[in-house]
A and B are shown apart, each in its own frame.
Chain A
Amino acid sequence: MQFLLALIVAGPLLGAAAALLPAPPGLKGKSPQQAVLRHGVLVTGVILLAAIVLALGFDHDHPSRIQASTDLSWIPALDVRLHLGVDGISLPLIVLTALLTFLCALHSYFKRPEGPAPQAFVALILVLESGTLATFAVLDLLLFFLAFEMVLIPMYFLIARWGGKDRGPAAWKFILYTLLGSVVMLLGLLLVGLDSGTFDMVALASDNGRSLSASVQVTAALAIGIGLAVKTPMWPLHTWLPDAHTAAPTVGSVLLAGVLLKMGTYGFVRVLLPIVPDGARTFAPYLAAFAVVGVLYGSLACLALVREGAGGDLKRLIAYSSVGHMGFVLLGIASMTPTGVNGALFANIAHGLITGLLFFLVGALKDRTGSTDLDALAKETGAALYGRAPRFGGLLAFGAVASLGLPGLAGFWGEMLAMFGAFDPAAGLHRGAFLTFTALAAFGTLLTAAYLLLVVRRVCMGAVPEKAPEFADVQGYEFAAWTPLVLLTVLAGLWPAVLLGLTDPAVHKLLAGGAS
């Protein structure tokens, strides 16, 4: 198990290095591009397999215990240790990352990304995967920061070189914004690490901030919180997301929305809540307020985009919807109750699956029609995809319905539990404020439903024009890339215990400070 986790984290890096080398004689394949894309699929496939085996080998009876951990000293001077480990909270995220990256590799194998050398493309994706997996698997503050940063560079290049219109500024803003946030987070991490003497998350979590003075906890919570909030993104710090998504290639968008956003929220649950609980408690109401504003703001922005004649771009709309969904996650975290945090983690996974699917669909739409501009797509009555490509229309409707949080699909449980957590927040948090937040968030779900169904109306419904341009229905490889996401959304929707069973004990342990 130990070796498995190490393989999962380091494997993609080796794969990336291998991707840059010329293909070995035996595996030439049709062309160097095809060979390297196949190599990408191979490596991500192996990593996914390893992740699944890890999940199966994971001891489901004690998800709160750190399993498959390797603990090597790396920088003795700073007491920084190569400490990897996985528990109920990080296991689902690792499997999700491995799955999404594999699907992206599969997708780009068949639909070659237009842009410079695919070798660089595959290498960057593998480095990205290694960074994200490391973020979820690492149990050391500095290593966490390292992995947190490692992800930015490949994503920058993915957007800057394979992106769409005005990708330069978007990539530029993405990396500068997130770097600024991470620098602030680094200060917080250092403050905690040096003040408490150790950088090890497990020790800090079980210590639950007892050794840190209140002022240190508050400042550390603020610093770490800002860094993570930029990444989540929390409401006022979100302006990089829509630009990044509009300019990113399909694969970039899927990974950005599906995985990178989760690192921010995972950071909140793994670093902020257990290590500086008092700090977190002082900022919880503000975090909740910003989260709820994010929910309403995101959905209203989408409503503005989806309106007739607003010239809204579909990818930008889904990016804003991510801001909204992440608002729910933050609300769950801000409630600091086991229910809320469980809801946040569940919503993380659900958002990864559903928004991944939506971005795949929009990417495919862009490949077929050349643009994701809503007005160009839906002339007067609508693009009538139900008629022109029934399967595609059906999938888009499924994605929209799952995204609006229909009970019975994955989206619902996360949001419901987050609101349930906020309805009855942890002791010491202002009950009245959280009640209003719950009410506003619930109203947010209505707005979310409104704009998503408006999207379905403008894209899927509408009179089928006779001379409509040919719209290819879902291809074989697209089905291969998307069905896992659909199945998992339905599975997680109908049987939430598959995730909550894992996270609940771990969350109890984290919030109770390692007591239970």
Chain B
Amino acid sequence: MHLAYPAVLSALLFCTGLYGVLARRNAILVLMSVELMLNAVNLNLVAFDVWLAEAAEDTLHSGQALTLFTIAIAAAEIGIGLAIVLAVYRARGTSDVDRLRETAERGHPDGTGGSGADAGDPDGAGRNAADRTEAAA
């Protein structure tokens, strides 16, 4: 069998998963997409392992071993992931990724007020901006 098929398939699957991760709103859907990506990798591993096992007489089957590894870890990961999603859900009442914005910059004290600072002295403006951010935090 032509090695390109599994390779291409895994690439496409991986990118579909990637799209899912980047585009989906619900955290669980994101987890599903992550699963897809992991599976794509597994497919690649298996394909290469089978190819190498015969091409390079490699008896170690590291590819398949790593696939098993990945599957196990994926299971653990999905467990923990869902636990976290639930906790986040309970804490925030929502599990939509783009509504969880705690890490955003608190307003833009410098962005809006900054440029209007007195033009007289660069130092003065710099100092005012610094005071304002402390005040805001």
Question: Which residues of A are in contact with B by a Cβ distance under 8 Å?
Answer: 166, 168-169, 172-173, 176
Known: A166-B121, A169-B121. 13 other contacts (CB 8 A): A168-B121, A168-B123, A169-B120, A169-B122, A169-B123, A169-B124, A172-B121, A172-B122, A172-B123, A173-B121, A173-B122, A173-B123, A176-B122
Report the bound CA distance from A173 to B122 in whole Å: 8
Closest partner residue, chain B, to A169 (CB atom)? B121
In the complex, which residues of chain A have a beta carbon less than 8 angstroms from the beta carbon of B123?
Answer: 168-169, 172-173
Complex Cα spacing A166 to B122, Å: 13
Cβ proximity bits B108-137 to A, threshold 8 Å, 1 near / 0 not:
000000000000111110000000000000
Q: Which of B29-81 contact A (CB under 8 A)?
A: none
Q: Which residues of B contact A (CB under 8 A)?
A: 120-124
B118 to chain A, nearest CB (A): 10
A-B residue pairs in contact (CB < 8 Å), sample of 15: A166-B121, A168-B121, A168-B123, A169-B120, A169-B121, A169-B122, A169-B123, A169-B124, A172-B121, A172-B122, A172-B123, A173-B121, A173-B122, A173-B123, A176-B122
**CA–CA, A173 and B121, complex, Å:** 8
Chain B residues with CB under 8 Å of A173's CB are 121-123
What CA separation (Å) do A172 and B126 show in the bound complex?
Answer: 11
Residues of B within 8 A of A169 (CB): 120-124
Task: Rank and list the top 5 A-B pairs by shortest CB-CB distance, nearest first.
Answer: A169-B121, A172-B123, A169-B123, A169-B124, A168-B123
Chain A residues, CB < 8 A from B122: 169, 172-173, 176
By beta carbon, the residue of chain A nearest B120 is A169
Interface secondary structure of B, over-half rule = helix
Chain A residue at minimum C-beta to C-beta distance from B127: A168
Q: A38 CA to B78 CA in the complex, in Å? A: 77
Question: With the chains together, A480 CA to B110 CA distance in Å?
Answer: 54
- Closest Cβ neighbor of A168 among chain B residues: B123
Taking the nearest CB of chain A, how far is it from the CB of B124, in angstroms? 6
A20 to chain B, nearest CB (A): 28
B126 to nearest A CB, angstroms? 9
How many Å from the CB of A278 to the closest CB on chain B?
37
B121 — which chain A residues lie within 8 A by C-beta?
Answer: 166, 168-169, 172-173
**Within the complex, what minimum Cβ distance (angstroms) separates B122 from chain A?**
7
| Complex interface: chain B residues within 8 A of A176 (CB) | 122
Residue numbers in A under 8 Å from B124 (CB-CB): 169
Q: How far is the CA of A443 from the CA of B90 in the complex (A)?
A: 83
A173 to B120, CA, bound (A): 11
- Tell me how far the C-beta of A237 lies from the nearest C-beta in chain B, rounded to whole angstroms: 16
What is the distance, in angstroms, from A514's C-beta to the closest C-beta of chain B?
44
Shortest CB distance A176–B (Å): 8
The answer for the CA separation of A176 and B123 in the assembled complex, in Å, is 10
Q: What's the least CB distance linking A147 to chain B, in Å? A: 26
How many angstroms between the C-alpha atoms of A169 and B127 in the bound complex?
Answer: 11
Q: Which residues of B contact A172 (CB under 8 A)?
A: 121-123
Q: Separation in Å of the A179 CB from the closest CB of chain B?
A: 13
Cβ distance A57 to chain B, nearest Cβ, rounded Å: 47
* A472 to B49 CA separation, bound complex (whole angstroms): 99
A168, B120: Cα distance in complex, Å:
12
A159 CB → nearest B CB, Å: 13
> Once the chains are docked, how many angstroms separate the CA of A176 from the CA of B122?
10
Q: How far is the CB of A248 from chain B (nearest CB, A)?
A: 16
For the complex, give the distance between the alpha carbons of A291 and B50 in Å: 78
A171 to chain B: closest residue by CB: B123
Q: In the bound complex, what is the Cα–Cα distance between A172 and B120 (angstroms)? A: 13
CB distance from A163 to the nearest CB of B (A): 14
With CB as the reference atom, state the residue of chain A lying closest to B126. Answer: A172
Chain B residue nearest to A176 (CB atoms) is: B122
Residues of A within 8 A of B120 (CB): 169
Residues of B within 8 A of A168 (CB): 121, 123
Report how far A172 CA is from B123 CA in the complex, Å: 7
A355 → B minimal CB distance (Å): 26
Q: Which residues of B contact A166 (CB under 8 A)?
A: 121
Q: Least Cβ distance of A244 to chain B in Å?
A: 13
Shortest distance between the CB of B48 and any CB in chain A (Å): 48
Please, how many angstroms separate the alpha-carbon atoms of A504 and B14 in the complex?
A: 78
- Bound-state Cα–Cα, A173 to B125, Å: 13
How far in angstroms is the closest Cβ of chain B from A175?
10
